[in-house]
Structure 1
Amino acid sequence: MTIQTPNRTGHASARPFRSVLVANRGEIACRVIRTLTAMDIESIAVFSDADRDAPHVRLADRAVRLGPAPASDSYLDVDAVVRAAVRTGAEAVHPGYGFLSEQPALARALAAAGIVFIGPDERALVLMGDKIRAKDHVAAQGVPIIEGVADASLDDDALVRAGAAIGFPLIVKPAGGGGGKGMQVVERAEELPSAIASAHRVAEAAFGDATLLLERFVTRPRHIEVQVLADAHGAVVHLGERECSLQRRHQKVVEESPSPLTDDRQRARLGEAACTVARSVGYRGVGTVEFLVADDRPDEFAFLEMNTRLQVEHPVTELVTGLDLVEWQVRVAAGEPLTMTQDDVVLRGHAVEARLYAEDPSKGFLPQTGVLERVRLPQGPGVRIDGGIVAGQFVGPWYDPMLAKIVCWAEDRETALRRLDAALAATVVFGVRTNLDFLRRLLADEEVVAGRLHTGLIADLLDDSPSAATSERVLTAVALAETDDRRSEAAARTAGLGTPWSDPGGWRLGTAAPTRQHLRLEDGRIVRFEVRGSSDDASVSVDDAAPTRAAVLSGSDGTLWFEHDGVSTPLETVRVGDERWIALDGAISVVEVVPREALPAGGDPTAAGAVDPEVRTPMPGTVTAVHVTSGDAVTAGQPLVTVEAMKMEHLLTATSDGTVTLHVATGGTVATRQSVATIAADPVATHLNAAPTDAAPTNGASA
């Protein structure tokens, strides 16, 4: 963390605990460990086999293994966590967020072992951890709720009938857990049965509880949450609100504090409602009460849920209040009273957080796996990074794909947004695709800049925005980088031969020959380029276009610069397998060199062949549902198999019409690009329908 904000409320100097076990991983484990270190408390990390060398393990004073890579066998294993705490002599356990952070079973087991759970008591966890009971309880306190059906006794058929009575659109939610997992928006009645089935599967896998509830879906609400802090002596304060309306699939993407919608009066009303909820359950520690607020009627709000843990987005609250929420969690768990009143809480400036995910926006934000070949995170005034990634680390399919949080603070919202955009432009992650470019486009949208936010805004932007094309500047930079690599490799092979005929620079009598290569772009298009001259003074032509002057130069401080059309820009480039990853102009692009023998006939990328009959998984995962049987006749786009990976379900569909043969079964595991089914085309239909076409082949295996 590069921001060191003074704590405006004093604490006793004594350590509340000698040692604390952090029952989590990744960036939140690192963030908690840093506060424990600052408090002179010994930190104990836990890890799965996949995280043996992870940053949080190295950051802690000690570490203990929980089990294999799957979360169900490690981070979600209550007995394993408690055994680790007992074995290491930990006096308390901090659960972070996600995993077991809201599970009463962990709090109960720790209490039986005489170990403090850094969180609320079991009653609050049970009551607020079940959305059905929580809504009933909150409504009884006079806090507004959203219309819906919350009845754990209803079976699927009864839920379908209840949904029809509510009307559409509606939202299906798991009753236990949060983070948007398992939530499904249903627009039409015929979609409800499959949405319920999918939500059941995700809820059972993520939370161990398949119970669901239905709510009326408000199409353009704002999602505003209030941070509360309470001690064991009855004191409760709120720490202002966070705007979390920029969401995709009910997962928050960008958060800020304070909300651009609220004023002091509205903040006080929301805060009092949140404190009422906290008091009603005897809450202790840090928690968040979430509301839906009408954009055109800010005084109207409705309770969504209470998260009985630290939130992912807590840094924005810390930056505007000057409070360390993890420190307060630890001190309250140790029985210390709050040393502040509501009047002591003052919000200063504005903070915005962006979540950096390993996902590919061009493929429906599909989570990505792979080795992080290079990582560069930004620094500077007002910039805070909560991360747990390093170069060389493997991003696997077992956990949430969030890599880091990039948070910026400034005296006003406009400056904070501008500072965050600059921080994102300086961020480089090579080896897995990320949402970095998408975050920058989102922050530049005029609605976001103006603060006119709602939970459907990202979906609207995705519908309206065309896919980004690889720019001529990027192609030119890659051309020079590839040419330089080829010439360096050739020079190494011919070193010492001492003849002009072995010169890799294209030497000949007369004019030097150009270096010619083909690149496959991210959208599948193939382009051809020619480079004449050296990389520090080259003439580059792309697809027979007029040549342009360009150069790649090394600065005195080692920085690589790309110069094109009189504009100089810092350049980073690295090869990952057959791909060239390039960071330029605050964006990251990936291209692949195509060997001449691999080019489609005539060099036309649309002539690459027919649709692949194999339906393949985009990433490793577990088969959670099979929708057809071998021998069934299927049509293109028909659902075949559902695979769960990185806490999301991915539906794989038929690539063409034909007869399907399945290669997997429910419960089985699959690897990246593994075939789950083969579609055999009907030979009679193929003959009858065969006709010349100029259409490019499609990939029907969607996720």
Structure 2
Amino acid sequence: MFETVLIANRGEIAVRVIRTLRRLGVRAVAVHTAADAGARHTTDADVSVEVPGYLDIEAIVAAALATGAQAVHPGYGFLAENPAFARRCAEAGLAFAGPPPEAIEAMGDKIRAKATVAAAGVPVVPGGAEPADDLAEAAARVGFPVLVKPSAGGGGKGMVVVREAAELPGAVESARRTARAAFGDGTLLIERFVENPRHIEIQILADGHGGAVHLGERECSLQRRHQKIIEEAPSPFLTPQVRERMGGAAVEAARAVGYAGAGTVEFIVDGTTGEYHFMEMNTRLQVEHPVTELVTGLDLVELQLRVAAGEPLPFGQDEVRLTGHAVEARVYAEDPARSFLPTGGPLLVLREPDSGARGDHATVRVDSGIAEGGVVGGGFDPMLSKVIAWAPDRAGALRALSDALAETVILGLTTNIPFLRALLTHPEVRAGTLDTGLVERRLADLVPPAVPPRDVLAAAALAFHDGLAPAGPADPWQVPDGWRVGEHAWTTWRLAPRGGDTTRVEVRGVPRSGAAVRIGDWTAAARLDTRGDREALVTLDGVARRYSLAADGDSVWLGAGGAAWNVARHLLGDPGDRERQGGAGDGVVRSPMPGTVLVVKAAPGDTVAEGQPLLIVEAMKMEHTVTAPVGGVVTELPVRAGAQVEMDAVLAVVKEGEQA
């Protein structure tokens, strides 16, 4: 085994690799950019080196050599599937914990990969690819709906479902632009879109001595924007016989390119017939690898390193055993209520579930790359952490995972945790009747309402009234308890989720000794008890609820059951009492997420129709087209291509009904 290994990555995967290195007694070297100085992966490592960027091959190789590393682990993303990086490591005498560069090249190009595995007898999805095929002709040949996707890269970036010919030109333009930005290659392919599809992948391992095995499958059908959010092993759909056939096909695909190390062969499976076709191979560790580790008892990172060190696999196919069931949920900085657009902000309060054994013989594991006090920006993938649960059966694993997510507290930015919990308890998910379109079909049932629950608004009003958030007035005579000669009066607060509509909440009395809260025609006796400066117990009509608490400017964050609400406030009649500017229908166009203005499609003075594209904003490799809210004339356009914008920043103003 190596003495020192450099991890050419960041975030949760870097932290996860470091965990295995520590167990093996191997010195861990982290790299980081200036913006990531002090990030969790840098503090967990033994040594940390600043580099200009995570894609700077020469700087990373130099860091490895300067720190005495004998090997590089690329994690996933960034340089993990870059054959030039693998070659440069070899030239520098560094072992690369991944496959040979020739295998990366063969499988990294989806067009070439399909031809390679088809020659090995593995079934592939019908379609066409550039430059040999005209995409419009290929789409007509295989029939709509079709899937347009970049030939290079992965992670669902740039993939677009096209259901009719008229949509194809716009889909091709978007996919090509994303492919060039994300992968530096705009080549596209087109495939038949399988209705009722299940996304099932096979984990393989191969060594440099001719050994190759599969470790069973992972069900990855629960997705949004063609990206996975919940994965499990084994699949509730496959029979043992189909598992062996697909596993054998995956091993043959790996052998066809001389593969070594850990890799994943992905298949699209018809949920009705069970027919399966090769989609692609990811020549790296997958985000969802923990579910395979939990059902096999193997450490895939350790096995990657041992293969890279020249060791043969320590077991054969007949020794692989799958025990119990494991499910993983990806925690993202995104807002499901806003089409899963990325969010960001400071990590004001962070509490993650404890890893280890639970009741009902379950086990919980947390792979996280974040730390309290950090800031989540828009420059990287929005995944914050992964929560994984194992149990003897699927129902127990789903239950343990939901419970662990309920224990998670992230205050300071919006996450998808409430959405994940709703998805895990959805009847179709519990029954295992999954397909890649389930989330889109059931989205209305899964997304929490935009307006915070009444109890949360009441709790926020009590916190503001008591001076907890933000810090209360120093002078006790300024506490807004509503005291008057004879009796307390009602104090009115106008509260709203940030950027949303307001609700009038009235409070009378002193929350710590006994108060009343009124919202509309509902009134409740209320009390607020603090537990330190980050937790409050709120009692309404005798029912007590515990909330995590954090102040954030003129708003307060409240967290409970894995959910988090950001509630802004001001006193009625206060100088800060103002209506939110730029409401719906006023022609003000705001950024739906923090990011970069990629394309500007209009100019001041242009006459535009309602719904006409005005700009394209990109964040975390995801594009969002911003359209005109009304028909009229563009009177203001204060941004240009390349500009960095915050969420809700004004991008344009359209004067309704005006003519140029």
State the TM-score bracket (shorter-chain normalisation): over 0.9
1:407 paired with 2:382, answer no
Instruction: Single out whichever of 613-622 and 306-315 deviates more from structure 2.
Output: 613-622
Where in structure 1 are there 5+ consecutive unaligned residues?
1-15, 68-73, 495-500, 686-703
* 2:32 alignment partner, SS class: strand
1:434 aligns with 2:434: no
Deviation at 1:560, TM superposition (A): 3.5
SS at match of 1:618: coil
Name the stretch that deviates more: 523-532 or 38-47: 523-532
> 1:440: Cα distance to partner?
0.9
The residue number in structure 1 matching 2:474 is: 492
Identify the match of residue 299 of structure 2 among 324, 332, 345: 324
* Residue 60 (1) aligns with residue 42 (2): no
Partner letter of residue 400 of structure 2? Answer: R
Distance 1:640 1:36, change over 3 A: same
Deviations 1:296-341 (CA, angstroms, capped at 9, x unpaired): 223x211111110000000011111110000000000000011111
Contact 2:337 2:447 in 1 (8 A): no
Amino acid at match of 2:266: E
RMSD over equivalenced CA pairs, Å: 2.5
Measured after TM superposition, the shift of residue 557 of structure 1 is 13
Aligned counterpart, 1:420: 401
Preserved CA contact (<8 Å) 1:491 1:504: no
SS in 1 for 2:2: coil
How far apart, in 2, do the equivalents of 1:430 and 1:646 lie? 21
Worse overlay, 36-45 or 76-85: 76-85
Q: Write out aligned runs for 1:191-202 (5 A).
A: 191-202=167-178
Does 2:61 align with 1:86? no
Aligned mates of 2:582, 2:532 — CA distance in 1: 45
- Tell me if structure 1 keeps the 8 A contact 2:389–2:400: yes
Identity, % of aligned pairs? 51
**Following TM superposition, by how much is the alpha carbon of 1:532 offset from its aligned partner in structure 2, in angstroms?**
2.4
Question: Is 1:116 matched with 2:91?
Answer: no
Displacement of 1:505 after TM fit?
Answer: 3.0
Q: What CA deviation, in whole Å up to 9, does each residue of 1:344-400 have, x standing for no partner?
A: 111111111000000111211110121111111012521111001111111111100
Q: Is the 8 A contact 1:319 1:351 kept in 2?
A: yes
Quote the Cα distance in structure 2 between the aligned partners of 1:291 and 1:609: 45
Whole-angstrom CA distance in 1 between matches of 2:124 and 2:469: 67
Match of 2:430 among 449, 453, 456: 449
In structure 2, what is the Cα distance between the partners aligned to 1:550 and 1:432?
28
2-structure distance, mates of 1:598, 1:206: 48
What is residue 75 of structure 1 aligned with on the other side?
54
In the alignment, the residues of structure 1 paired with residue 153 and residue 584 of structure 2 have an alpha-carbon distance, to the nearest angstrom, of 44
Distance 2:597 2:532 in 1: 53
2:111 and 2:321 map into 1 onto residues whose CA distance is: 34
The letter of the residue matching 2:8 is A
Match of 2:465 in 1: 483
Q: CA, structure 1 residues 323+307, in 2 after alignment: closer, same or farther (shift >3 Å)?
A: same
Gaps of 5+ in 2: 358-362
Structure 2 SS opposite 1:492: coil
Partners of 2:199 and 2:470 lie apart in 1 by 54
Q: Does 1:655 align with 2:629?
A: yes
Name 2:360's counterpart in structure 1. Answer: none
1:257 corresponding residue in structure 2: 233
CA–CA distance in structure 1, aligned partners of residues 590 and 349 of structure 2: 28
Helix, strand or coil: the match of 1:631? coil
Asked if 1:471 corresponds to 2:453, the answer is yes
CA contact (8 A) 1:537 1:549 kept: no
| Residues in 2 aligned to 1:485 and 1:339: alpha-carbon distance in whole angstroms | 62
Letter paired with 2:36: D
Corresponding position: 1:389 with 2:363: no
Amino acid at match of 1:325: L
Alignment-derived partner of residue 10 in structure 2: 25
- The change in CA–CA distance for 1:562 and 1:655 in structure 2 (over 3 A counts) is same
Contact 2:466 2:472 (8 Å CA) reproduced: no
| 2: CA distance, partners of 1:305 / 1:418 | 32
Residue 89 of structure 1, CA deviation: 2.8
Q: CA deviation at 1:475?
A: 1.8
Residue 518 of structure 1: CA displacement? 1.3
Give yes or no for the alignment of 1:628 onto 2:610. no
User: What is the rounded CA distance, in whole Å, between the counterparts of 1:369 and 1:285 in structure 2?
Assistant: 35
- State the shift of 1:631 in Å: 3.3
Whole-angstrom CA distance in 2 between matches of 1:610 and 1:566: 39
Aligned length: 652
Q: Show CA shifts across 1:619-652 (max 9, x none).
A: 4433332323443211222101112211101111
In the alignment, the residues of structure 1 paired with residue 469 and residue 156 of structure 2 have an alpha-carbon distance, to the nearest angstrom, of: 50
Q: Note if contact 1:149-1:214 (Cα within 8 Å) is conserved in structure 2.
A: yes
Residue 690 of structure 1: aligned partner? none
In structure 2, do the counterparts of structure 1 residues 160 and 530 end up closer, same or farther at CA, with 3 Å as the change threshold?
Answer: same
Deviation at 1:273, TM superposition (A): 1.1
- Summarize the Cα distance change of 1:575–1:600 in structure 2 as closer, same or farther, 3 Å threshold: closer
Which range is displaced more, 526-535 or 217-226?
526-535
Alpha-carbon distance in 1 for matches of 2:573, 2:485:
28
Distance in 1 (CA, whole Å) between partners of 2:375 and 2:533 is 30
Is the CA contact 2:323–2:392 (under 8 Å) kept in the aligned structure 1?
yes
Distance 1:600-1:348 versus aligned 2 partners, 3 A rule: same
> Partner of 1:313 in structure 2?
288
Three-state SS of the structure 1 residue aligned to 2:286 is coil
Letter in 2 for 1:173: K
Sort the Cα spacing of 1:446 and 1:537 in 2 relative to 1 into closer, same or farther, 3 A.
Answer: farther
User: What is aligned with 2:82?
Assistant: 103
Q: Mean Cα displacement is larger for which, 659-668 or 172-181? A: 659-668
Letter in 1 for 2:553: G
Q: Does the 8 Å CA contact 1:377/1:427 hold for their aligned counterparts?
A: yes
Aligned to 1:638: 612
Provide the residue aligned with 1:373 in structure 2.
348
Distance 1:371 1:466, change over 3 A: closer
Q: CA-to-partner distance for each residue in 1:235-274, whole Å, 9 max, x for gaps? A: 1111111100000011000001111112222211111111
**Aligned pair in 2 of structure 1 residues 488, 360: CA closer, same or farther (>3 Å)?**
closer
Alpha carbons of structure 1 residues 664 and 40: separation in structure 2 relative to 1, 3 Å: same
TM-score by length of 1: 0.88
Match of 2:526 among 529, 546, 550: 550
Q: Which amino acid aligns with 1:332?
A: V
For residues 250 and 598 of structure 1, the distance between their equivalents in structure 2, rounded to whole angstroms, comes to 47
Amino acid at match of 1:109: R
C-alpha distance in structure 2 between counterparts of 1:582 and 1:167, whole Å: 50
For residues 21 and 489 of structure 1, the distance between their equivalents in structure 2, rounded to whole angstroms, comes to 44
Q: Under a length normalisation based on structure 2, what TM-score does the superposition of the two structures give?
A: 0.93
Match of residue 38 from structure 1: 23
Aligned partner of 2:248 in structure 1 is 272
The aligned counterpart of 2:203 is: 227
Contact kept, 8 Å, 2:483 with 2:509, in 1: the verdict is no
Match of 1:132 in 2: 111
Separation in 2 of the partners of 1:502 and 1:632? 52
Partner amino acid for 1:85? A
The answer (yes or no) to whether the contact 1:132–1:152 under 8 Å persists in 2 is no
Structure 2 counterpart SS, 1:433: coil
Q: Is 521-530 or 582-591 further displaced after alignment?
A: 521-530
Q: 2:32 maps to which residue? A: 47
CA gap of 1:343–1:564, structure 2 versus 1, over 3 A, is: farther
